[in-house]
Amino acid sequence: MAALSEEVLLVLKKVRQRKQDGTLYLMAERIAWSPEGKDRFTVSHLYADIRCQKISPDGKAKIQLQLVLHTGESTTFHFSNESTALKDRDAAKELLQQLLPKFKKKANKELEEKNRMLQEDPVLFQLYKDLVVSQVISADEFWANRLGDISNADPALYNNNNKQEVGISGAFLADIRPQTDGCNGLRYNLTADIIESIFRTYPAVKQKYSENVPHNLTEKEFWTHFFQSHYFHRDRINTGTQDIFSECAKQDEKGLKSMVVQGVKNPLVDLLSLEDKTLDEGYGVRTAPPSTSNANRTVKESSNAAIIKRFNHHSAMVLAAGSRKGETPTDQASETSSTDGNSKDSDFFQPPVKKVKLQEAIEYEDLQRENRIKTVALNLKKSDRYAHGPVPLQSQHYTTSQDIINSVNYIQHEMVNYKPNLTQVLSSTAASSAIAALSPGGILMQTGAQQAINQMIPTEVQGELKHLYAAAGELLRHFWSCFPVNTPFLEEKVIKMKSNLERFQMTKLCPFKEKIQRQYLSTNLTGHLEEMFQTAYSKFHIWQTRRMMRKT
Amino acid sequence: MCRFYEEFDAVGRQVPLPAGIYNLDDLKDFGRRKGWCPYYLARYSILHANIVVYSYHYLLDPKIADLVSKELAKKSVVVFDEAHNIDNVCIDSMSVNITRRTLDRCQNNVDTLQNTIHKIKDTDAAKLKEEYRRLVEGLKEANVARETDVYLANPVLPDEILQEAVPGTIRTAEHFVGFLRRFMEYLKSRLRVQHVVQESAPQFLKDIFDKVCIDRKPLRFCAERLQSLLRTLEIADIADFSAVTLISNFATLVSTYSQGFTIIIEPFEDRTPTIANPVLHFSCMDPSIAIKPVFQRFQSVIITSGTLSPLDIYPKILDFRPVTMASFTMTLARTCLCPLIVGRGNDQVALSSKFETREDFAVIRNYGNLLLEMSAIVPDGIVAFFTSYVYMENIVASWYEQGILENIQRNKLIFIETPDAAETSMALEKYQEACENGRGAILLSVARGKVSEGIDFVHHFGRAVIMFGVPYVYTQSRILKARLEYLRDQFQIRENDFLTFDAMRHAAQCVGRAIRGKTDYGLMIFADKRYARADKRGKLPRWIQEHISDGSLNLTVDETIQLSKHFLRQMAQPFRQEDQLGLSLLTLEQLESEEMLQKIAQIAHQT
C-alpha cells in the first residue's frame, strides 16, 4: 500500500466492478478501485496506459464508465449509488477528461526523447555523466535548460525533436457522424480531437466556448446548440439572432472579407490584375453582370452561394490551422526581404514577389543549357564589415591610416638616408643570442610553441581536458543564462549555480590540475578554465554586492 | 502642366531607351528615375521597339488603336497568339450598349458642353470660328493620310466621310449640341418600350428620320464632330465625357454599316421581368469589320493558338484568305497527357450535362463519384470545370446534401470559384498553397470564367482536369441568336456547327490549362458522353485528339480510375533532360540539321 502516500483527487463510493461493490479512487497518476471491505486495489491503471474513456448514454438504466487501455483491454465501472450515480459518473468523467490528455503525450514520450538524445549525442552523454551522475547538478536542472534550448535553437537541425504539428483533416466535421437514436433524435459523438479541430479551425467557436461554458451553459448544452445552429449547417441562412453562433458566422464573414481585402501575394493568380479593362463601360456584347444583390435572388440561390462561400472559408481555415506555426517565420522572412530592397514606394517598384513569380513563369528548366552549380548569393547588409573581417576587441592603441602613412613615409625617409655604421654593431655573442631568441622555441617566439600541445600531451589527458572544458562550459552556460537576474527564481538559481561552479572546481578541476602539475610542470593547461571561473565569480560578486546595497 | 510630361516632351524623344526588355513596371521604374511620363514614354517606345507584346484590344479596338497602334510600320508582322477567341474580341470592340443611366449621364455631358460653348463664345469666339473653318475644309488630312497609307485605318471613321466636309447642320457648335440633344431624346423614347424590339440598322435609320428628321449623313459625322468639339473646347478630362462619346460612336456606326449589326431593345432582364431596366444593344455580328483594317494594312498577319480548331472556320468568320494554314501536333518524349471520355457511371447511367438530364440526381451523383474517386488517386491538385456558374452552384449544393463533398474533403481541400474576382483570387492562392504543402486540393471552376481563361495550372497545381459536361454557351440570348442567324445567312455556317465549335474551343481551353510544358503531365477527363461523338471529338485540337484511343471513348467511372492510376504511376517516374533530347528538345545543331527540317515539314499537316 505504498500508494497511500499518493494524492487522492477523488473518491467515489458504491462503484461496482464485475458485480462487486467497491470504491473508486482517482489519484494523481492512476485510477484504482478496491472492493468493499478490503484495503487493496484489485484494479489499478496508470493514466498513461488508458487510451480513452467511454460513458453510457443518458437515459440508460445502468450508469457506466468504461476505460479502454492501449492494450485493448477494457474495464467497466458501474455507478450504483442511486441518488448520486449520475453526478458521480460525471465527476469521474470530467476529471479523467482533464487528466488523460496530459499523460497521453507527456509521460513516456519525454523519457524516450531524453534517452534518444543521450544516445545520439556522445558529447551530451559525457556531459550528463560528468554533471548529473557525479551529482553536480540535478537531472531536472540539466534537462530543463537543455530541452528548452534545443527547441528554440534550431528547429531544422533537431527536426525529430521538435515534432511537426499534425494538421487538421479537411473533413473533421464530416467525421462527426450523427447517429439516429431511434426516437427522432440525433446523437453526435465528439472526441477531444474533434473538439480540438473545431477550436483550431474556428477560433470564434472557441471564444464562444470560453465565454459561455460553464457559467451559462454546460458543455453538453453548448455542443447541442452548436449542432443545432445554422452555423453548423452551412446551407441554411441566418435568420434568427437569438442563436449564440450567429455572431460566429458574422465573425467568419468578417475574417473572409479581411482575407479577401488583403489580396493575394502571387500576381499570377490575382484575377483582379489579370482582367484587362480595355473596353469602356457601355461597349462590348456582354452587359453588366446581373446584379448579385440578395433582393432578386431566390432563397435557394443565396443558400447555394452561402455553401460555396463557406466551403472556401472552411478550406482556408483548415489550411491556416495546419500551417499556423510554420507560417510566422516565413512571413517575417518575406517581409524583411521586401523591406530590404525597397521600403517605401512599393507602388513604383515591382514588389520582389512579382518579379520572382514572373521569372519562374517564363523560365523553362529543360531549356537551360546545363545544370550550373547553384551558388548562394551573399547577402551583405554592411559590406565593409565583410571586407575587414572580425576585428579582435583588444585594449590596444589603434593607429589611424594617417598614422600609418606618416610612419611609412618616415621609414622610407629613414631608409633613404640610411648609412650602415659598421663600427658600432652588436657583438657576435649578443647577435647570436638575439637570433636564438627570435627563432622558433626561443624566448620571444613562445607563441609558436603552442602548436605542439597536441604532441606534448598524451591523448588521455587531452580527452580529459576536453571533457572538463565541455562540462565547465555547460555549467558556465547555466550560470550566465541566469543574467539578468530579475526573478526570485533566477536569484535562487544563480546562487546555486555559483556553488555548483565552486564544487566543480574543487572536485574536478583541482585534481586534474594537480595531476598535470605532477607530470608537466611547465604547461599551464587549466589557466584558461580558471580564468573563466574567475570571471564568473567576479560577476557573481558584483551582482551580490549590488544586491546587498539595494537591500540596505 | 504635368512635370513628367513636360520633361518627357523636352528630352524624352531624343534619348533612345537602352536596349532591353521592358514591361510596364520597368517602364514606370525607368520613367521615375528619369522623371519622364511613363505613359507617353510607352506610347513613343512602341514605334521603335523590335517586338511589342500587348493586348489585342490595342490593335482591334478602334478607340485604342487610334491612339496606340496607328503608326505601326506597314511591314510589321502581326501575331495574334492565343487567338481562339479573336472573333469575340472583335465583336466586343464594336458593340455598344445603351441604358437609361448612359443617357442620363449623356444629358449631363451635353449640358456641360453647352455651358462651355457659351463661355467660350463670350471670351474666345475666334476659336470656334477657326474650328468652323477647319470643318468646312473637311477631314482632308485624314483622307490624305489614309490614301498614302500612313496610318492604320479606323473602322469608326468610314471612307466616305473623309472625302466630304462636315455637313452644315452640325458644323457650328451650338447646332451640333442641339443635334445631339435631339438624337438623345429619340433614344430615350426608344427605351420606353414594353416589349422586345429587334431591328436592323437601315430600319433604325428610317425610323429616326421619320420621327425626328435626323438624316443619315450628319449621324455619320457624329463621332468625328464630337472629337473636334472636345479638342476645340480644350476639355482635358475626356473620361467624364465617355457617355456622350459612346452615343456619338453609336451614331456613326449605325449609320455607316448597314450590315453586320443588329439593334435589340430589351425592356427588362429575362431573369427579372418585373424590374424595368431597358437596354439598347447595338450588337456587332461580324468580327471581320474590326479586324479588316489589320488585314489590309499589315503585310503578314499570323493567327495562332494551341486550341485553334477546327482551322477552317476562322477564315470564314474573320473573312480573310489564308496564305498558308498548318496544324501541328506535339512531339513528346512520353505521352504526358491522357484524355479520357467518361460516358457512363458505374451504374451505367449515361453522363451528360444536356438540358434534359442536368437536374437528374443519378447524373449528379455519378459526377460526384467521379470526383470523389479521382480525389483519392490523383496527387496534389485537381481542377474541375462546369459548364456554367448556375450549374456549378446547383451541383455543389446537391453534392453537399448527398454528403459527397464531405467525403471528398477527406482526401483534399475544396476551393470554389465565385463570381467575385477578389474572393476567387484568394481561393486560388489558397488552392496553390494547399497543393504546395502536400495536402492537395480541388478547385471547382467554370468554363468561360476568369479562371479558365487566365490561370495556368502547371505541374502539381493541376495533375488532372475534369470537364463536367460540354460548355455550350447560353443559347437563349437574343444577341447570340441574332449572331447565329447572321452566320448562317452570310457564311453558311450552321448554327449547330458554330455552337459546337464554340463549346469545344472552350473545353479545349479548360483542359489545356493543365499542360504547360513538356515536362508537365496531366489527366484530361471529359465527363460527358457527347464528347465521344465524331462531330465533337473532331473539333478538339489535334494534339489532344490523337491521344484519344478508341478504347477510351465511353468509359465508366471505374475504368477511368484504373486507366488514370496506370497513367499517373508511369508519369511519376523520373524524367530527365536526356530523355527528351533529340525528340522534344533539340540542340541548336539538331535544329539546324537538314533531317530535322524535313521532319518538321512532314509534321506540319498542310491543309
Q: Which residue stretches of B403-526 are H helix? A: 404-411, 421-436, 450-454, 478-491, 495-511
Q: What pLDDT shows up at residue A206?
A: 82
Considering chain A, what is the average pLDDT of its residues? 73
CB A103 within 8 A of CB A48: yes
| Residues of chain A found within 8 Å of residue B55, distances taken between Cβ atoms | 276, 278
Q: Which residue stretches of B47-158 are H helix? A: 57-60, 62-68, 86-94, 100-123, 125-137, 140-147
Q: What is the DSSP string of A145-198?
A: HHHHHHHHH-TTTTTTTSPPPP---TTHHHHS--EE-SSS-EE----HHHHHHH
A130: which DSSP letter? I
Q: Cα–chain-centroid distance for residue B266?
A: 24
Q: What pLDDT shows up at residue A350?
A: 47
Q: How do residues A45-55 score in pLDDT, each as one tens digit?
A: 888 778 778 88
State the count of interchain CB pairs (< 8 A) between A and B: 191
Q: Provide mean pLDDT across the span B126-134.
A: 79
Element (H, E) at A116: helix A85-120
SS3 state at A380:
coil
A 249-288 residues with CB < 8 A to B: 256, 259-266, 268-272, 274-276, 278-287
Confidence of residue A373 (pLDDT cuts 50, 70, 90): low
Q: How do residues A238-270 score in pLDDT, each as one tens digit?
A: 555 556 677 777 777 787 788 778 777 777 777
pLDDT(B428) > 70: yes
SS3 state at B473:
coil
Lowest mean pLDDT among A136-140, A464-468, B263-267: A136-140
Lowest mean pLDDT among A295-299, B386-390, B433-437: A295-299
Considering chain B, what is the average pLDDT of its residues? 86
Place of cell 477546327: B310
* Residues of chain B above pLDDT 90, percent: 28
Element (H, E) at B384: strand B381-386
Q: How do residues B178-234 score in pLDDT, each as one tens digit?
A: 999 999 999 999 998 888 889 999 999 999 999 988 888 888 888 888 888 888 887
pLDDT(A340) > 80: no
A506: which DSSP letter? I
Q: What pLDDT shows up at residue A469?
A: 87
Lowest mean pLDDT among A159-173, A466-480, B273-287, B334-348: A159-173
Q: What pLDDT shows up at residue B344?
A: 92
Domains in chain B with CATH codes: 3-83+295-313 (no CATH), 94-291 (no CATH), 330-576 (3.40.50.300)
Assess A427–B contact: CB distance below 8 Å, yes or no. Answer: no
SS3 state at B577:
helix
Give the bridge partners for B383, in sequence order.
Answer: B443, B465
Instruction: Using alpha carbons, select from B185, B207, B184, B191 the residue that is nearest to residue B280.
Output: B191
Q: What pLDDT shows up at residue B395?
A: 92
CB B35 within 8 A of CB B7: yes
Assess A7–B contact: CB distance below 8 Å, yes or no. Answer: no
Residue B538: how many CB atoms within 10 A of its CB? 12
User: Is A287 in Cβ contact with B279 (below 8 Å)?
Assistant: yes
Q: What pLDDT shows up at residue A457?
A: 74
* Residues of chain B above pLDDT 70, percent: 95
Rounded Cα gap, residues A199 and A189, in angstroms: 16
pLDDT(B51) > 90: yes
Assess A322–B contact: CB distance below 8 Å, yes or no. Answer: yes
B548: which DSSP letter? -
SS3 state at A81:
coil
Q: How do residues A89-108 score in pLDDT, each as one tens digit?
A: 888 888 888 777 777 665 55
Q: What pLDDT shows up at residue A328?
A: 40
Q: What pLDDT shows up at residue A212?
A: 79
pLDDT(B465) > 90: yes
User: Is B430 in Cβ contact with A315 (below 8 Å)?
Assistant: yes
Q: What pLDDT shows up at residue A276?
A: 63
Give this prediction's pTM: 0.68
SS3 state at A246:
helix
Contacts of B523 (CB under 8 A, 6+ apart): B337, B338, B340, B374, B378, B463, B464, B465, B514, B564, B567, B568
More confident residue, A159 or B518: B518
More confident residue, A136 or A416: A416
Q: What pLDDT shows up at residue B560?
A: 94
A 289-318 residues with CB < 8 A to B: 289-290, 292, 296, 300-301, 303-305, 307-309, 311-312, 315-316, 318
Residue A9: how many CB atoms within 10 A of its CB? 13
End-to-end Cα spacing for chain B: 57
More confident residue, A439 or B411: B411
* B397, B422, B424 ranked by CB distance to A307: nearest: B397
User: Is B396 in Cβ contact with A307 (below 8 Å)?
Assistant: yes
Amino acid (1-letter code) at residue A455: Q
Q: Provide mean pLDDT across the span A514-518.
A: 81
Element (H, E) at B554: none
Q: For residue A360, give the chain B residue with the closest CA.
A: B458
CB B119 within 8 A of CB B341: no
Residue A110: how many CB atoms within 10 A of its CB? 12
Instruction: Using alpha carbons, select from A63, A80, A102 the residue that is nearest to residue A16.
Output: A80
Instruction: Using alpha carbons, select from B476, B477, B390, B266 the residue that is nearest to residue A297.
Output: B390
Rounded Cα gap, residues B86 and B107, in angstroms: 35
CB B520 within 8 A of CB B336: yes
pLDDT(A151) > 60: no
Instruction: Using alpha carbons, select from B327, B316, B313 the residue that is nearest to residue B497.
Output: B313
CB A28 within 8 A of CB A19: no
Interface test with A, best of B22, B88, B413 (most A CBs within 10 A): B413
Q: What pLDDT shows up at residue A454?
A: 64
Confidence of residue B164 (pLDDT cuts 50, 70, 90): confident
Confidence of residue A329 (pLDDT cuts 50, 70, 90): very low
* A261, A308, A318 ranked by CB distance to B396: nearest: A308
SS3 state at B78:
strand
Q: What pLDDT shows up at residue B78?
A: 93
Q: Provide mean pLDDT across the span A183-190.
A: 70
Q: Provide mean pLDDT across the span A11-23.
A: 83
CB B91 within 8 A of CB A285: yes
Q: What pLDDT shows up at residue A512?
A: 83
Nearest-neighbour CA in chain B from A239: distance (Å)? 19
Place of cell 549525442: A121
Confidence of residue A177 (pLDDT cuts 50, 70, 90): low
CB B155 within 8 A of CB B296: no
Q: What is the DSSP string of A51-78?
A: EEEEEPPTT-SS-EEEEEETTS-EEEEE
Place of cell 538524445: A117
Contacts of A180 (CB under 8 A, 6+ apart): A186, A187
R_g of chain B, CA atoms, integer Å: 28
Confidence of residue B530 (pLDDT cuts 50, 70, 90): very high
Pairing of strands A74-79, A64-69: antiparallel
